[in-house]
């Protein structure tokens, strides 16, 4: 007899309520792929403050969090609205001093998450050597150390592992126990989801546990690592989820143009984030017709 | 109908098209190629459809041996998954493939370079109070640290080719011939710089940047007027080989709507 299935499902609002001001978050998704957009919106709606975010490369999702003054510190490798320009809100918040960024490389951040997941205090890396990424830091007194390898004598950089308070990842599908599948690239989410003290998995769809257990080789994040599960369809809109939907470039371009000014950003935030009650109301505002046009085509996945 | 192997004449191609062709020619058949979005992506796709069908294109988000047919806007764009051999993640691409020494050539852009091919993509102006905070390394430093050779693609301006970088994001040849070795870096460093005016390479002995070819219609003087660092100019500087009609035809089919390479004709 199979034991009773544990049910880790909570709502998006409940999940965000768990995050206290000042918390440290691993932020999942990579580039335009699977960012936790709906979670970002809800963090703004609930007025969270002073968060620190760890990620490799992110875009509108973290630009919104900077704009709304939810995040004060980032440790990351890259931020921009790819293919369009610089992230407008983050630029402004850096200038007014309310956001600080500590720079690493993508591999360095991914290894910091792997180190956290493995339970070791640092990871060795052969990037960053000889550059200002080692010599300059914004707020971390111990950002990178270069040592001579005790075995070979060669120079190697060490980066500190990260165990954030929460890991936030948006995936393709998950069962209510928290077994998650990710279609397409994983970015740094496999490691990031395992590094958090608590991990919240948001998913395009909740599937039956039997669906997962009949294909265990497809599980990217097993339930042991997962604390809470949130059903969150279209949760990365206006960005993309492979096999589910494409990005909405029209919306992304509008965001970029409008957020070049503080007034434009305030208007966007009011119209699409704080002015709607929840994620469902946001989707209603975008409209069914527009969303259906973005639905992924088979077999392309976009 | 022109002979496809013939060179196109001035006015029949744009500077961006020439740059994409230069990038494509830097890729050899069978090589493992690490590229980002933009012009290098188009260059790699062109190479694969021309002289390098066995080249394997890797994108850092996790796409391995991608055969994308549509132009991607993001490095993690679902379009890059098309007929890939695998879709994994950053530890696989930047860690095991790249740092593990399995990538032959990597393409990167630059906001500033100096005469040793050191690269800035992070700060313009002072570190403490910069004029512009650029996107940062992303995987750029990882690529330039560990790929066997690097191709830099950038716009040629005096303020972008500087004696001293505002910030060094990625390591070129650092201070000279032993710079990379002494720093503990594994890859071979920058080998080629493709700009809108010329191609530059690096002197074998000093690792200082050197003019390699000037694009058709561009004089050595024009290059020097637009260069902020000391550029080695050999006695004879050949003209960059113009695109062939075949290269142009395939290039235009790779990016048919001109997302990265606007149509010249």
**pLDDT tens digits for range B168-219:** 999 999 999 999 999 999 999 999 999 999 999 999 999 999 999 999 999 9
Question: How much is the average pLDDT of A216-245?
Answer: 98
Question: How much is the average pLDDT of A168-174?
Answer: 98
Residue B259 lies in a domain: no
d(CA A233, CA A172): 9
Contacting A residues, span 27-46, partner chain B, CB-CB under 8 Å: 29-33
Residue B167 lies in a domain: no
d(CA A283, CA A233): 9
Beta A166-174 vs A24-27: how paired, if at all?
A: parallel
SS3 content of chain A, % helix, strand, coil (to 5): 35, 25, 40
Any CB–CB contact under 8 A between B185 and chain A? yes
B64, B85, B129, B137, best to mutate vs chain A, most A CBs in 10 Å: B137
pTM for this predicted structure: 0.97
Give me the pLDDT at residue A3, please: 61
3-state SS assignment for residue A1: coil
**Tokens 């593990």 -> residue:** B100
- A108-139, pLDDT tens digit by residue? 999 999 999 999 999 999 999 999 999 999 99
d(CA B215, CA B204): 23
Give me the pLDDT at residue B1, please: 58
Any CB–CB contact under 8 A between B172 and chain A? no
Are A127 and B75 within 8 A, CB to CB?
no
Q: Which residues of chain B have pLDDT under 70?
A: 1, 264-265
3-state SS assignment for residue B141: helix
Residue A209 lies in a domain: yes
Are A78 and B135 within 8 A, CB to CB?
yes
CA distance B224 to chain A (A): 27
* Token pair in block for residue B205: 């002995």
For residue B93, give its domain range.
15-130+138-157+184-254
d(CA B48, CA B251): 11
- Which residues lie closer than 8 Å to A191 by C-beta, 6 or more apart? A110, A113, A114, A116, A117, B89, B91
For A128, which residue in chain B has the nearest alpha carbon?
A: B141
Residue B175 lies in a domain: no
* Token pair in block for residue A282: 């946001």
Are B249 and B4 spatial neighbours (Cβ–Cβ below 8 Å)?
Answer: yes
Q: How far is CA A43 from CA A14, A39, A121, A205, in A?
A: 11, 6, 30, 21
Number of domains in chain B: 1
Angle at A102 between CA A97 and CA A106, to 5 degrees: 140
Give me the pLDDT at residue A2, please: 54
d(CA B199, CA B210): 9
Give me the pLDDT at residue A159, please: 98
Are A105 and B180 within 8 A, CB to CB?
no
How far, rounded to the nearest angstrom, does the alpha carbon of residue B12 sit from its chain's CA centroid?
23
The angle, 0 to 180 degrees and rounded to 10, between the axes of the packed helices A88-95 and A262-269 is: 120
- Among A26, A76, A30, A23, smallest CA distance to A46 is for A23
| Count of residues making up chain B | 265
Number of domains in chain A: 1
**Tokens 């990265």 -> residue:** B260
Angle at A226 between CA A47 and CA A18, to 5 degrees: 20
Beta A71-76 vs A78-79: how paired, if at all?
A: unpaired
Residue A116 lies in a domain: no
Are A132 and B169 within 8 A, CB to CB?
yes
Q: Which of B17, B31, B60, B115 is catalytic?
A: B60
* H helix intervals, chain A: 12-17, 37-45, 60-67, 88-95, 106-118, 132-135, 189-195, 209-213, 249-258, 262-269, 279-286, 288-294
Any CB–CB contact under 8 A between B190 and chain A? no
| Count of residues making up chain A | 302
Give me the pLDDT at residue B239, please: 98
* Token pair in block for residue A5: 């299935």
Q: How far is CA B73 from CA A20, A106, A194, B20, in A?
A: 35, 19, 29, 17
Cβ-nearest to B137 among A78, A154, A191: A78
Give the CA diameter of chain B: 59
How far, rounded to the nearest angstrom, does the alpha carbon of residue B110 sit from its chain's CA centroid?
9
Beta B105-108 vs B149-153: how paired, if at all?
A: parallel
Give me the pLDDT at residue B2, please: 73
Are B168 and A156 within 8 A, CB to CB?
no
d(CA B220, CA A297): 51
The helix or strand, by DSSP H or E, that contains position B198, with its residue range, turns out to be strand B198-202
Active-site annotation holds for B60: yes
Any CB–CB contact under 8 A between B134 and chain A? yes
Residue A10 lies in a domain: no
Kindly provide the ipTM of the predicted complex, given to two decimals: 0.97
d(CA B15, CA A284): 45
3-state SS assignment for residue A218: helix
Residue A43 lies in a domain: yes
Residue A228 lies in a domain: yes
How far, rounded to the nearest angstrom, does the alpha carbon of residue A14 sit from its chain's CA centroid?
18
For B178, which residue in chain A has the nearest alpha carbon?
A: A130
Q: Provide, as residue numbers in chain B, all residues whose Cβ is less than 8 Å from the Cβ of A130.
A: 168, 171, 174, 179-180, 183-185
**Tokens 């497809």 -> residue:** A218
* Token pair in block for residue A57: 């490369």
Tell me: pLDDT of A104 over 60.
yes
Using a 10 angstrom Cβ sphere, with 0-12 exposed, 13-18 middle and 19 or more buried, the burial of residue B51 is middle
- A247-264, pLDDT tens digit by residue? 999 999 999 999 999 999
d(CA A227, CA A6): 11
Residue A1 binned pLDDT confidence (cut-offs 50, 70, 90): very low
Any CB–CB contact under 8 A between B104 and chain A? no
Are A171 and A221 spatial neighbours (Cβ–Cβ below 8 Å)?
Answer: yes
Residue B262 lies in a domain: no
Residue A4 lies in a domain: no
Contacting B residues, span 143-162, partner chain A, CB-CB under 8 Å: 145-146
Q: Provide, as residue numbers in chain A, all residues whose Cβ is less than 8 Å from the Cβ of B185.
A: 126, 129-130
Give me the pLDDT at residue B5, please: 93
Any CB–CB contact under 8 A between A301 and chain B? yes
Query: For residue B98, what is the domain's CATH number?
Result: 3.40.1080.10
For residue A37, give its domain range.
21-105+164-294
For B90, which residue in chain A has the nearest alpha carbon?
A: A187
Any CB–CB contact under 8 A between B88 and chain A? yes
Residue A54 lies in a domain: yes
- A29-46, pLDDT tens digit by residue? 999 999 999 999 999 999
- Which residues lie closer than 8 Å to B80 by C-beta, 6 or more apart? B59, B61, B63, B66, B68, B72
Query: For residue A266, what is the domain's CATH number?
Result: 3.40.1080.10
How far, rounded to the nearest angstrom, does the alpha carbon of residue A158 sit from its chain's CA centroid?
24
Give me the pLDDT at residue B124, please: 96
Tell me: pLDDT of A229 over 90.
yes
């Amino acid at each position: 007899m199979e034991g009773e299935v544990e049910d880790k499902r909570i709502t998006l609002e409940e999940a965000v309520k768990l995050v206290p001001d000042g918390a440290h978050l691993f932020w999942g998704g990579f580039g335009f792929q699977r960012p936790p957009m709906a979670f970002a919106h809800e963090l703004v709606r609930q007025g969270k403050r002073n968060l620190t975010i760890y990620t490799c490369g992110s875009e509108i999702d973290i630009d919104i969090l900077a704009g709304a003054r939810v995040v004060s510190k980032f440790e990351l490798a890259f931020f921009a609205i790819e293919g369009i320009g610089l992230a407008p809100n983050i630029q402004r918040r850096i200038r007014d001093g309310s956001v600080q960024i500590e720079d690493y490389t993508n591999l360095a951040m991914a290894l910091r998450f792997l180190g956290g997941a493995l339970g070791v205090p640092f990871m060795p890396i052969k990037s960053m050597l000889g550059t200002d990424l080692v010599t300059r830091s914004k707020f971390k007194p111990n950002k990178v150390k270069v040592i001579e390898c005790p075995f070979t004598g060669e120079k190697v950089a060490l980066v500190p592992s990260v165990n954030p308070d929460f890991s936030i990842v948006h995936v393709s599908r998950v069962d209510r126990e928290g077994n998650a599948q990710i279609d397409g690239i994983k970015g740094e989410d496999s490691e990031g989801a395992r590094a958090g003290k608590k991990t919240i998995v948001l998913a395009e769809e909740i599937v039956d546990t039997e669906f997962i257990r009949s294909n265990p080789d497809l599980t990217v994040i097993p339930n042991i690592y997962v604390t809470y599960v949130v059903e969150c369809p279209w949760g990365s809109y206006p960005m993309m989820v492979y096999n589910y939907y494409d990005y909405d470039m029209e919306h992304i371009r509008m965001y970029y143009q409008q957020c070049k000014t503080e007034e434009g950003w305030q208007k966007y935030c009011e119209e699409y984030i704080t002015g709607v009650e929840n994620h469902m109301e946001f989707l209603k505002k975008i409209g069914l017709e527009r969303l259906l046009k973005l639905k992924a085509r088979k077999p392309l996945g976009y | 109908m022109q002979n496809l192997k013939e060179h196109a004449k001035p006015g029949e191609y744009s500077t961006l098209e020439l740059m994409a062709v230069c990038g494509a020619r830097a890729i050899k058949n069978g090589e493992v190629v690490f590229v980002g979005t933009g012009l290098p992506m188009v260059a790699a796709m062109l190479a694969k459809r021309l002289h390098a069908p066995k080249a394997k294109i890797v994108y850092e988000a996790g796409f391995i041996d991608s055969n994308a047919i549509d132009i991607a806007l993001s490095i993690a764009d679902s379009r890059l998954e098309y007929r890939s051999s695998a879709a994994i993640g950053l530890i696989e691409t930047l860690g095991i493939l790249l740092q593990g020494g399995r990538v032959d050539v990597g393409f990167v852009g630059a906001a500033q370079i100096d005469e040793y091919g050191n690269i800035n993509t992070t700060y313009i102006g002072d570190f403490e109070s910069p004029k512009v905070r650029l996107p940062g390394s992303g995987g750029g430093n990882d690529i330039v640290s560990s790929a066997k050779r690097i191709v830099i693609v950038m716009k040629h301006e005096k303020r972008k080719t500087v004696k001293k970088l505002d910030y060094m994001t990625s390591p070129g040849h650092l201070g000279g011939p032993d710079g990379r070795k002494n720093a503990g870096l594994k890859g071979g460093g920058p080998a080629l710089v493709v700009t809108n005016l010329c191609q530059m390479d690096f002197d074998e002995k000093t690792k200082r940047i050197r003019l390699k070819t000037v694009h058709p219609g561009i004089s050595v003087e024009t290059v020097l007027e637009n260069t902020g660092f000391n550029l080695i100019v050999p006695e004879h500087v050949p003209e960059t080989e113009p695109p062939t009609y075949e290269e142009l035809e395939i290039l235009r089919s790779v990016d048919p709507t001109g997302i990265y390479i606007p149509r010249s004709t």
